[in-house]
Chain A
Amino acid sequence: MRFLSESPSLHAHCYRVLDDNGQLIRHSNFIQVSEDIAVKMYSNMVTLQTLDTIFYEAQRQGRISFYVTTIGEEAINIASAAALTLDDFVFPQYREPGVLLWRGFTLQEFANQCFGNKADYGKGRQMPIHYGSNKHKYFTVSSTIATQIPHAVGAAYSLKMDKKDACAVTYFGDGGTSEGDFHAALNFAAVTEAPVIFICRNNGWAISTPTSDQFRSDGIAVRGQAYGVRSIRVDGNDVLAIYSAVHAARKMAVNEHRPILIEAVTYRVGHHSTSDDSTKYRPADEIEWWRMARDPVTRFRKWIESNGWWSSEAESQLRSSIRNQLLQAIQLAEKVEKPPVKDLFTDVYDDLPPNLREQEKLLRETINRHPKDYPADVPL
Chain B
Amino acid sequence: MQLQPKLIALQLLHLRNPALGEGLEEEMERDPRVCVMGEDVGHYGGSYKVTKGLATKFGDLRVLDTPIAENSFTGMGIGAAMTGLRPVVEGMNMGFLLLAFNQISNNCGMLHYTSGGQFTIPIVIRGPGGVGRQLGAEHSQRLESYFQSIPGIQMVACSTPYNAKGLMKAAIRSENPVILFEHVLLYNLKERIPDEDYICNLEEAELVRPGEDITILTYSRMRYHVMQAAKTLVNKGYDPEVIDIRSLKPFDLYTIGNSVKKTHRVLIVEECMRTGGIGASLTAAITENFHDYLDAPVMCLSSQDVPTPYAGTLEEWTVVQPAQIVTAVEQLCQ
Contacts and interface: CB of A to CB of B under 8 A. Distances in A.
Most buried by B among A123, A162, A349: A349
Interface residues of B, number: 47
A117 to B, nearest CB: 12
B115 A140 contact: yes
Nearest to A131: B115
B106 A142 contact: yes
A227 to B, nearest CB: 10
A149 B78 CA distance: 11
Interface in B150-207: 151-152, 154, 174-176, 203
Given A89-B83, A191-B67, A151 B115 contact: no
Nearest to B66: A188
Given A144-B102, A155-B80, A158-B85, A149 B113 contact: no
A3 to B, nearest CB: 26
Interface in B23-74: 35, 61-62, 64, 66-67, 69, 71-74
A120 B250 CA distance: 30
Nearest to B112: A347
A355 B250 contact: yes
Interface string B99-125: 000110011001111111111100000
B103 A147 contact: yes
Nearest to B61: A161
A359 B253 CA distance: 15
A187 B67 contact: yes
A272 interface: no
Nearest to A120: B116
Contacts of A347: 112-113, 116-117
Contacts of A188: 66-67, 69, 72-73, 76
A350 B176 contact: yes
List 9 A-B pairs, minimum CB-CB distance, nearest first: A154-B79, A150-B75, A151-B79, A184-B69, A184-B72, A154-B76, A154-B80, A140-B115, A123-B116
Interface string B205-221: 00000000000000000
B82 interface: yes
Interface of B: 35, 61-62, 64, 66-67, 69, 71-85, 87, 102-103, 106-107, 110-120, 151-152, 154, 174-176, 203, 250, 253
Given A161-B85, A192-B64, A151 B116 contact: no
B120 A350 contact: yes
B114 A155 contact: no
A184 B71 contact: yes
B114 A126 contact: yes
Interface of A: 89, 91, 120-123, 125-126, 130, 132-134, 139-140, 142, 144, 147-155, 157-162, 168, 180-181, 183-185, 187-188, 191-192, 346-350, 353-355
A153 B116 CA distance: 23
20 contacts: A120-B116, A123-B116, A132-B114, A132-B119, A133-B118, A147-B107, A150-B71, A150-B75, A153-B72, A154-B82, A154-B83, A155-B82, A157-B64, A158-B79, A188-B67, A188-B69, A188-B72, A188-B76, A347-B112, A349-B176
A252 to B, nearest CB: 20
A346 B85 CA distance: 23
Contact of A130 (B75, B84, B114): B114
Contacts of A152: 79
A181 B203 CA distance: 33
Contacts of B117: 123, 346-347
Contacts of A139: 82, 115, 119
Contacts of B115: 121-122, 132, 134, 139-140
Contact of B119 (A140, A148, A150, A349): A140
A354 B251 CA distance: 10
Contacts of B76: 150-151, 153-154, 157, 185, 188
A178 to B, nearest CB: 14
B72 A180 contact: yes
Contacts of B253: 354
A130 B174 CA distance: 27
Nearest to A123: B116
A184 B114 contact: no
Contacts of A181: 71-72, 75
A159 B176 CA distance: 22
Given A122-B114, A123-B117, A151-B78, A184 B73 contact: yes
A373 to B, nearest CB: 24
